[in-house]
Amino acid sequence: MNITHITCSPGRTGFFFDDQAAIKRGAKTDGNTYIGDPVTPGFTKIRMAGESISVMIRLEDGQVAYGDCAAVQYSGAGGRDPVFLATDFIPIIEREIMPLLVGKPITSFREMAALVDKHIDSKTGKPLHTAIRFGVTQALLDAVARSRNKLMAQVVADEYGQTLSTQIIPIFTQSGDDRYGNTDKMIIKGADALSHGLFNTLDKLGRQGEKLIEYLHWIVKRIDELAPCDGYAPTLHMDVYGTIGMAFDNDIPRIADYFAQLEAAAKPLALRIEGPIDMGEREAQIQALAELTSQLDAREIKVEVVADEWCNTFEDVREFAERKAGHQIQIKVPDLGGINNTIEAVITCKKLGAGAYVGGTCNETDRSAQVTMHVAMATSPVQVLAKPGMGVDEAFMICYNEMQRILAISKLT
């Protein structure tokens, strides 16, 4: 079966593009935006509307496969590609992707995804923006699945030698700044991991981390009050955007001492801390997280470190996992480009004994979230991120329902 046509449409994402550097420098909120000037190149404001591009592939039997190009909320930060605007990148898809695929036969997903993911822009001499590779490979996975009358998850499992999960993957929900109201939603819905917390400034964390400790005490109490069933014991997962390092001058022993306080505050629940340190570049980040992980293990402090910043590519994921720079690695799906890289990253983490967390961003779309769930059900990571958006309800619904559909349909085939 051949590809007969490709077309694109501009879209909106489930959240915004935010200038992380400006926010870390203390930009103040004003309603649902920020006051001040942007710092990161490509931003015209500190907060900008999130944009996406739907890539639609028509097959010769008339079916249309599709995927959504989208980039992370904090584009341009931590070594990532720049802000992704539809008007800038639709012409690039038309120039580079259409000639590459139109008129060509549908073969295997692995082969077609590699063709797109490795493609070099004819004008810049560089790889295509990660968001383009992300969306086009989603559409290709859908196209292969349609050509074979299979689920996308089944195609991934077949081509990569995996076994389709017989249960949904644990869902991690993120609160954004509404870390109290949204946490109530998560508890009521029985989320497996919560609540992210968005501790992205020292003011939110507390100058000595005291506000995070207070929040953990509150959330443990709140879970006890609102638990939807007996035995409900979600994992607590907080993202701190390097602010713990800021509070303790990146002093690893002092940070480990603070983690012992966090462990006590979270009891009896398990706790993960994402992005405790941001060293500003990849090698220093790996060294710092590896040292922190080692100290926590040696001291039997049962708090897991989750790597995030500066872990943007498949090669980064493998390096962080090999060097034990974190107990769990966030595979930030749009940052890796083609979703074939996410598949390989999960498999690699599992082989190396690192926890694989299939994440992404609140700034994705419903479609990219659905395709990600197919990848997760085929590869069985530790957890998946509920996405897009920061409202909890919609993101949890999209991801939970898609995985339940996969379970139900797979029983019929």
- Whether pLDDT at 111 is above 90: yes
H or E stretch covering 16: strand 3-18
pLDDT for position 298? 97
Beta strand spans in 287-336 (E) = 303-307, 328-331
How many angstroms separate the CA atoms of 14 and 325, rounded? 30
| Percent of all residues in the chain with a pLDDT value above 90, rounded to a whole number | 90
Q: For tokens 């644990």, name the residue.
A: 170
Which SS3 state, helix, strand or coil, does residue 375 take?
Answer: helix
pLDDT for position 245? 96
- Average pLDDT, stretch 322-348? 97
| Percent of all residues in the chain with a pLDDT value above 70, rounded to a whole number | 99
Q: Note if 332 is an active site residue.
A: yes
Give the burial class of 92: count Cβ atoms within 10 A of its Cβ; 0-12 exposed, 13-18 middle, 19 or more buried: middle
Q: What is the pLDDT of residues 31-83, one digit of tens each?
A: 989 999 999 988 999 999 999 999 999 999 999 999 999 998 888 776 678 89
Question: Active-site residue among 24, 185, 324, 332?
Answer: 332
pLDDT for position 23? 86
Q: What is the pLDDT of residues 245-277, one digit of tens each?
A: 999 999 999 999 999 999 999 999 999 999 999
What's the gap between Cα 348 and its chain centre? 17
pLDDT for position 78? 64
Q: Which two tokens mark 352?
A: 């190396």
Q: Where are the alpha helices (DSSP H) in 299-365?
A: 314-322, 339-352
Q: Which two tokens mark 97?
A: 């992707």
Lowest mean pLDDT among 70-84, 92-106, 312-326: 70-84
Cα torsion for 290, 295, 296, 299, to the nearest 10°? Answer: 160
Question: What average pLDDT is seen over the chain?
Answer: 95
pLDDT for position 75? 85
Q: What is the pLDDT of residues 164-223, one digit of tens each?
A: 999 999 999 999 889 999 999 999 999 999 988 989 889 999 999 999 999 999 999 999
Q: Which two tokens mark 390?
A: 């920061």
CB–CB of 340/372 below 8 Å?
Answer: no
Q: Which two tokens mark 8?
A: 């694109």
List, in order, residues 6 or more apart from 149 with CB less than 8 Å away: none
